[in-house]
Structure 1
Amino acid sequence: MFSFFPIQGGIAVAKGFYCDGVSAGLKPNGEPDVAFIYSDSLCEVEAIFTQNKFCAAPILHYQEYDKNFKTNFVLINSKNANALTGDEGVANVKEILDEAKGKFPMIYNPIMSSTGVIGVQLPKTKIVESFLKFDLTKKDDAKAANAIMTTDRFSKTIAFEVVLEDKTSFKIGAMCKGAGMINPSLATMLCFIATDAEIPKSDMKDLLQNAAENTFNAISVDGDTSTNDTILLLSNGKSGAYNKEAFGFVLEKIMHKLATDIVRDGEGATKLVAFEVRGAKTSKEAQKVAKALSQSLLVKTALFGCDPNWGRIASTIGASGIECSPKTLEIYFDEVCVYQKGMIYFDGENEKKAAEVLKRESFRIICEIGKGTESYVAYGCDLGHEYVKINADYRS
């Protein structure tokens, strides 16, 4: 048995972790745009990266380290993805991190992460000069979370303390960013998780991947997979406490909250929608159709207009390639059934009820396939004029 409860502190809540965000002049408004995460003792580290074949330079640099390397420092910049920048991009990461090690000799095997415009070399001088503003004893999680934002409308942080049956405890804090280029394909954003739990290195990968399956792997804003997507888990073990079941449970809670915050913050989005698929023949088919629904442009635009166009939902299910039949299919907007096993329930009154559901900030679209027992929930949002406006002038 264990208990857990939310606490303040974000990414620096655990023992020995520090963070801050400063302005390097990358954002035109003078807001924080470079952040760091520092641990005063070495951390075990595990990561999940994008499935995009054109991985950004920071990911390529990370992959040059030995498999079981330890670290105590992460540097993050916004406004520039350092992706598709060739060998020079990787060399720039090394040069910047060498400068950081020179200024702060306690830094060991530093990691860099970037987000922003693709195809532009890093402004090295500005980033290095920002190190003069770094104070590795600070715990300003709000500034750190703001610094990594790009088109995000709000910062995304969360932290828990976990108390085990023997009364020992550990803490987990996290922050992430993401609002566009979000597709259910591994990480689909930047997410950093820090804990003082004493996790064996052998547990970290499985815990991270298991938690990602129904969280960051289940969200979509626009169906595009970024070059920089990263989930990074750091553990310095300073609490001396750990329980695999408890850690895995709370880790998934944290990642689920951050993942749905990303969808809620989707560029131009006005609503968070859970696409719950039930009764699929296999788990793979349940995932396939749920993700297809979360990515369908026709479904997304209908949601934006508060139009309960269940025909678009049925069409997407049929086009997904899974085993299905109109004779077993059921479609609900929350509690409102609009189609059931060949019968259409879409008279004036029911259509009005379904339209009212779509006006809510969050709701479920439930699809009972009627071919098996497997289920999956994917998360998506609507798509409207603001998304086009944001991405039409993203580089400005």
Structure 2
Amino acid sequence: MAKESFRFIHASDFHLERPLQDILDLPEQMRKTLVEAPWRAAEAVFEHAVVENIDFVVLSGDILNPATSGSQGPAFLLDQFETLRGKGIQIYWAGGEVDDPDRWPAAVSLPDNVHLFSKHEAETFIFRRHQTPLVNLIGRSSSGGETVRAVEYANEADDNFVVAVGYGQADAESLASEHVDYWALGGRHQGEIVRSDDPVIRYAGSPQARSLKEPGPHGFVLVDVDAQRELQIHTIETDQIRYSVQEIDADDVALGRDLRQLLAKRVARLQSEASGRHVLVKWRVHLDLENASVVGPSAMEDLLGWLRREFGHGQPSCWSTDIEILPPKELPASWKEEDTILGDFLRTSASARKDPAKHINLKPIIDVETPGTNNWQGALSGSSSNSLTATIERSTLLGVDLLRGHKVDLVAPTRRFGGSEK
């Protein structure tokens, strides 16, 4: 059993070499914050270690690439490490893909409170308080493999709490078979609880998101362990900028709801959840085909301008990066019932979707119309059921567009306004 209580921080994926994305056309008051956001979020991790009287910090990979972050990156880390050294706080660091231990500048020595795990094999460091061993930390820096191998962390049971530190994909069942109390994993930008107890397996996630692909809160994990090895785990949010993707269903417009009022309510909710942070939001609007003029391209451009003027210049700001118009989830049922060419077409399409392999054979068309090698023709004719279904759906949208007289552009995969394609 643990002899005393202790506290530690689990953090990862700082990626100090990477700037934020999806930031075109930003207002002036947000630009400085976005440039500084990754650094301030990382700094907050170390500040919490001091303020919260943490015993040690675990870093599980992808902290920074010294070659691409410039001298600012290593200098920043050394400052933070030295601050923790002055407080007697130890740091246990397993390198990931970008922070391979071999990349650290040979001329720059790490302080003696920083323990960097080998990438050749798992090794063990023991955390002691007043010469009393409390925690065994078993870790390995990544050697280029994508998987954390549980067998490398095998250890003999003793009275010490065991923290395993690794980088990469993990299988919860195999990791749980080892004598480990807490698995501190890195390599994922979104925080994730793989297993909540006996043992705990967690990805800390990045302290600061970098793009719309990483929505929601970001931070690090603070772990309190009492003398009976009971864990209290807290997620601490450190992100300076928050990303969000919001969907607007066509039904909201079809029911006569005011779209601007709906968006304003969403913005208010986002700002409340962000607790004073700037928010970058992408809107995804599903087309309402029966009221296409309400959500057509020109209306979307006007709407984006209104969102930016109304909510994009405050402190904090909610900046709309772009609006993406999506095809409808379902075509209007009334269209399928029409005694028209459109109705016949949609009924045929619905029948084909039930069993695409049975109803569609592209080979005769490919043999006649498609030039190229036999391999190329074979690849086209050997389409899977999923790809055939996708072809049917896109063909259906094209047919609807033609038969409805091009009222709405359904042929393009998406229509985007105001942002960069990601």
- Higher relative contact order, structure no. (Cα contacts within 8 Å, ≥ 6 residues apart): 1
Instruction: Report the TM-score when normalising by structure 2.
Output: 0.22
Instruction: Report the TM-score when normalising by structure 1.
Output: 0.23
Higher Rg: 2
